[in-house]
Structure 1
């Protein structure tokens, strides 16, 4: 019999894989007014690494969303995070002539990142050929999800309801869209007047995607309730999944940062679920035959106290 005063040895959990992060790596951006700063975060080891290009929400930067970026990189992805012109780190004045075009420049930023893959991977010692440019996903939160959705095929309608430019990119094979705003039919008067890009059409968003919405996400830009954020799933073609998080507001539990001030619904377990399911979805979407997504979906379905529900089509 063991001595009850002797501490019981407990197994030590494996430490998370080491992540390397380099930034800012600046890409030339003629006509943008300033170079495009990007953070590059790969795992320290591994080969044939798929890529996630992440678009931040309003005011954030390449240094935000560490709960997602760190997790994805630790689980085998190279995460590329550009800083858009609306970032608080850049202090773009409201009367700057670029301000009305920031939503377009955001889309161009993501394309620039894809065009600059060689420069970005060369900036991280030892990354080089470990990155697989043939397996690319885009992701984003809030305005960043709107930005990312255009590379998946979403279009912006003009005042007459005619779809605008097609920014879809054949290099992108999958997407994760977190708290993506819905259709423009129910915008508040302010949003309708000042945010012309918030009139999307998802009819041509054909690239496979996981859409994540909170069932308590009440936007000040829409007269509808939280179901507004399910529009991208409802109104897009097949090969889509919708994860609806119970009790989640716009920060989805705190994905924008560790102890981020804008988090109104802090919930580490909810963030962990988003981490696991987004990673599993992208693994399977970018690796034919991978069963991570099926296993994650089954685990959520069988959870006696699930933090959300999942639908697919």
Structure 2
């Protein structure tokens, strides 16, 4: 049986990283200043950027198993605390709630607008970042955020209008355990609590993208079961790849934290697989190196690997 381990990858080993938080960007129209964490390697130049959006309720401190890994291998990872975070405790009747999905995208655009400012706040980082290579990534609700930045159209639940909120500064996306199409596949729970999933159109996404889906991800949002989270791959256009994680539930083995209480399928091997494949994809799509991605494709093609399958179109 084919195995796939960190030692199978030919890329450079990890380097020390630094993390600075919270950096604050004023955002008066948001009602809360935008708090940001920047994680970066202490050495290296021309560093690509990963703009990472957390899942519903999380914050800028989440997803360390991914963030630390990407940063230690040459990426500047920028995270924000979005308005849906449990830290901000919005009231149930807060008028911003129906627009949480849109505020998230505006948060990311604000970060892109203020990259020079953020760089200057991180000791030793200024002048070492390549602003022309930005990949949007996110888990769950954050996957929708990343998708919108590359062309996903979401109909506003109040007006029914779907506008293009993509950003040309984002070259590709990684969507982890992300919602699929809406319509009659949504459950009453989803319609009540996540109305921004009601009408999603993936057909406008032409940027490259990696979708990661667990084949045991039984969300209460759709009647379709785990295949729902593969929609960003099957319905999107352009060069797309899909990593199916065998046995993976919504947190894909525990990507949300080293000791995350919400993880229901704790499995270090799954987390390692997601870390390795996403890093290989980041290096590939940003043009840093293509060797690891080719190795991942070779090892995970078909059904030979016990942890997952990788396919592309």
TM-score (norm 1): 0.91
What is aligned with 1:221?
221
Count of aligned pairs: 300
The Cα shift of 1:29 comes to: 1.2
Match of 2:64 among 63, 66, 89: 66
The answer as to 2:187 corresponding to 1:188 is yes
Q: Is the 8 A contact 1:175 1:282 kept in 2?
A: no
Larger radius of gyration: 1
What is aligned with 1:276?
276
What is aligned with 1:208?
208
Question: How far apart in 2 are the matches of 1:240 and 1:227?
Answer: 16
What is aligned with 1:96?
94
Question: How far apart in 2 are the matches of 1:59 and 1:106?
Answer: 12
Q: Is the 8 A contact 1:155 1:202 kept in 2?
A: yes
Q: Is the 8 A contact 2:283 2:289 kept in 1?
A: no
Q: Is the 8 A contact 1:300 1:306 kept in 2?
A: no
For residue 129 of structure 1, give the secondary structure of its aligned residue in structure 2: coil
What is aligned with 1:245?
245
Match of 1:134 among 132, 135, 144: 132
TM-score (norm 2): 0.91
Cα RMSD, aligned residues only: 2.0
Deviates more, 1:186-195 or 1:16-25: 186-195
Question: How far apart in 2 are the matches of 1:115 and 1:204?
Answer: 24
Question: How far apart in 2 are the matches of 1:118 and 1:137?
Answer: 17
Question: How far apart in 2 are the matches of 1:264 and 1:77?
Answer: 29
Cα distance change of structure 1 residues 231 and 304 upon mapping to structure 2, 3 Å threshold: closer
Match of 1:37 among 35, 38, 51: 35
Cα distance change of structure 1 residues 93 and 76 upon mapping to structure 2, 3 Å threshold: same
Question: How far apart in 1 are the matches of 2:189 and 2:311?
Answer: 33
Q: Give ranges in structure 2 of 5+ residues lacking alignment.
A: 1-11
The Cα shift of 1:194 comes to: 4.0
Cα distance change of structure 1 residues 174 and 34 upon mapping to structure 2, 3 Å threshold: same
1:1-313 correspondence runs (5 A): 16-157=14-155, 164-185=162-183, 186-198=185-197, 199-287=199-287, 290-301=290-301, 305-313=305-313
What is aligned with 2:3?
none
Cα distance change of structure 1 residues 161 and 37 upon mapping to structure 2, 3 Å threshold: closer
Question: How far apart in 2 are the matches of 1:158 and 1:132?
Answer: 33
For residue 224 of structure 1, give the secondary structure of its aligned residue in structure 2: coil
Q: Which has the higher contact order (CA 8 A, sep 6+)?
A: 2
For residue 301 of structure 2, give the secondary structure of its aligned residue in structure 1: helix
Q: Is the 8 A contact 1:217 1:249 kept in 2?
A: yes
Question: How far apart in 2 are the matches of 1:55 and 1:272?
Answer: 20
Q: Is the 8 A contact 2:242 2:312 kept in 1?
A: yes
Cα distance change of structure 1 residues 304 and 227 upon mapping to structure 2, 3 Å threshold: closer
Q: Give ranges in structure 1 of 5+ residues lacking alignment.
A: 1-13
Question: How far apart in 1 are the matches of 2:138 and 2:157?
Answer: 26
Cα distance change of structure 1 residues 45 and 29 upon mapping to structure 2, 3 Å threshold: same
The Cα shift of 1:163 comes to: 6.0
The Cα shift of 1:116 comes to: 1.0
Q: Is the 8 A contact 1:206 1:236 kept in 2?
A: yes
The Cα shift of 1:292 comes to: 2.5
Cα distance change of structure 1 residues 288 and 161 upon mapping to structure 2, 3 Å threshold: farther
What is aligned with 1:9?
none
